[in-house]
Amino acid sequence: MTGPLVLAVAVAMTVMGKRGGNFYVVIFKIVGVPMHEAATTGQP
């Protein structure tokens, strides 16, 4: 479930020239990843 959502955000952020780390943290928190893991994964 998380894979396609992260892929969609990655494609959108690439098109806009952004990194999107702040969006990844929100996605990971919605799907239940602990905050310390979500925050470190979303860092550029």
Q: How far is CA 26 from CA 7, 9, 12, 30, 37, in A?
A: 14, 11, 15, 6, 12
Residue 1 is predicted with a pLDDT of 64
Q: Which residue has the higher pLDDT, 30 or 2?
A: 30
What angle, 0 to 180 degrees and rounded to 10, lies between the N-to-C axes of helices 21-30 and 2-16? 160
Asked if the model's pLDDT at residue 37 lies above 70, the reply is: yes
Give tens-digit pLDDT for 17-35. 877 777 788 888 888 889 8
